[in-house]
Every structure is written in C-alpha cells, then in structure tokens.
C-alpha cells in the first residue's frame, strides 16, 4: 500500500515541480519586461517626468490642436493656432475657482518671461461669462501682466483637449502637435520645466 501510494504521488510531485519552475520563469520574464518598459519611459520627453513634472505624460495618440473659437481680452474671436503664432506653445486650462490653477499661474508667467519670443504660454480661462472680468484681472495680477487673456465660456475646449479636470497644461511644438501634457498643478519655472522646454525647442 505504501509503495503504491508513493508511486501514485509521483506524477503530482512532478506536476508541482514543473508548475513552480514555470512560475519562476514567468517572474523572471515579468522583471525583464518591467525593466524594459521603465527604460522606454525614460527616453524622449518622458525623461523629464520627475520632480515638479512627475505626472508628465506623453500620449501615443493625442487630440489634435483645438480649432474652437475662443475670445481674447477685447472680446475678439481667435483660436489656439492663431494664439501660437507658429511658436512652441504651452496651453493652460484654468479657472478662478481652481486653487491649484491660481497657485501655479505665477510660475507660468515666469516661464513666459524666461522664454519671451521663443515660446507662447497661453492660459485659457473656462470661467463663465459672469466671471470674465474677475478672471482677466486675476490673470494680470498673478502673471505680472506677462500672459494673454483668453476665455472659452462654452468650456468646450475642455473636451477638445481631453482634460480630466483643472488645471491641465499641454505643450505643443511649433507645428501645433501635442508633445506632452500634465494634469494638475506644477511649478512651471522649475529646473524640470526649463529642461523640458529646452528639449522641445531643440526638436524644432
């Protein structure tokens, strides 16, 4: 009985051993795959996804540059392509009721002053019509009059850009193609942001 029991148990032992070996192999393959994936995310502009830009993302198939009509400080119609003037453009969607938007706006103004004539920082308010005057005054104060005032009271630009909330900052190259984005607030005058801008400018 004992001999038969040992004999009948051997296939199960062999199966268990093979299962453990397969699991070990899968674990090794997973580690190698993870290492490869990590290396790939650290190439290109994703190498700047650290520090203040930790949440930086590069989309495989980003939305095209919105052509939606928005209005400038005088009430005239324009759009993002016209606002870019053929330069690298940093579009920031913001609102007066968004605390992270207010916190980061001075750094966007500083970014514009640092790269004056080389990039265009374009904040677009998604406040309602009743908040237009307040938004314009707030932007002028927060940015030290460094940034143009644009507003989309329809808020349709949020959907055009694919923004999950406020603030969202999208970086476009000089041809109007999205190259990177960041959801949430950040210091856009930080060393990480400066390094990102320099890299985007170098790609022109």
Is 29 in the same domain as 96? no
Q: Are residues 13 and 92 in the same domain?
A: no
Based on the fold, state whether residues 175 and 119 are members of the same structural domain.
yes
Hey, is 72 helix, strand or coil? strand
Q: Is 183 in the same domain as 125?
A: yes
Lookup result for tokens 């938007």: 101
Tell whether 26 and 78 lie within a shared domain.
Answer: no
pLDDT at 38 over 60: no
pLDDT at 12 over 80: no
Q: Are residues 13 and 52 in the same domain?
A: no
Domain extent, residue 28, equals 2-41
Decide if pLDDT at 34 tops 90: no
Q: pLDDT digits over 53-108, tens only?
A: 999 999 999 999 999 999 999 999 999 999 999 999 999 999 999 999 999 999 99
pLDDT (0 to 100) of residue 203? 87
| pLDDT tens-digit readout, 152-165 | 999 999 999 999 99
Three-class SS state of 183: strand
11 and 70: one domain?
A: no
Same domain, 22 and 62: no
Q: Starting from the edge strand earliest in sequence, which strands make up the sheet with 70-72, in order?
A: 77-78, 70-72, 150-151, 119-125, 88-94, 168-172, 178-183
Query: 32 and 131: one domain?
Result: no
Q: What is the CATH number of the domain that holds 180?
A: 3.40.30.10
Residue 170, number of CB atoms within 10 A of its CB: 25
Whether residue 101 is found in the same domain as residue 151: yes
Check residue 188 and report its DSSP letter.
Answer: T
Is it true that the peptide bond before 167 is cis, omega within 30 degrees of 0?
yes
Q: How many domains in the chain?
A: 2
Summarised one tens digit per residue, pLDDT across range 180-192 is 999 999 999 999 9
Asked whether residue 119 falls in the same domain as residue 188, the answer is yes
For the chain, strand residue ranges (E) read 70-72, 77-78, 88-94, 119-125, 150-151, 168-172, 178-183
- Residues contacting residue 49 through CB under 8 Å, at least 6 positions apart: 41, 55, 56, 57
State pLDDT tens for residues 103-145: 999 999 999 999 999 999 999 999 999 999 999 999 999 999 9
Whether residue 35 is found in the same domain as residue 70: no
């Amino acid at each position: 009985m004992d001999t038969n029991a040992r004999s009948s148990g051997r296939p199960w032992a062999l199966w268990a051993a093979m299962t453990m070996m397969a699991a070990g192999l899968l674990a090794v393959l997973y580690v190698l795959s993870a290492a490869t994936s990590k290396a790939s995310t650290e190439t290109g502009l994703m190498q700047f996804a650290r520090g203040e830009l930790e949440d930086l993302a590069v989309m495989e198939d980003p939305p095209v540059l919105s052509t939606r009509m928005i209005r400038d400080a005088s009430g005239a119609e324009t759009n993002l392509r016209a606002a870019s003037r053929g330069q690298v453009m940093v579009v920031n969607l913001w609102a007066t009721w968004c605390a992270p938007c207010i916190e980061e706006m001075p750094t966007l103004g500083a970014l514009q002053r640092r790269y004056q004539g080389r990039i265009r920082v374009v904040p677009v308010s998604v406040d309602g019509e009743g908040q237009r005057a307040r938004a314009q005054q707030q932007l002028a104060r927060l940015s030290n009059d460094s940034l143009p005032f644009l507003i989309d009271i329809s808020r349709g630009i949020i959907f055009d850009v694919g923004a999950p909330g406020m603030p969202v900052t999208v970086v476009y190259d000089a041809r109007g193609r999205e190259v990177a984005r960041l959801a949430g607030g950040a210091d856009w005058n930080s060393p990480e942001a400066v390094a990102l801008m320099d890299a985007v400018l170098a790609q022109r």
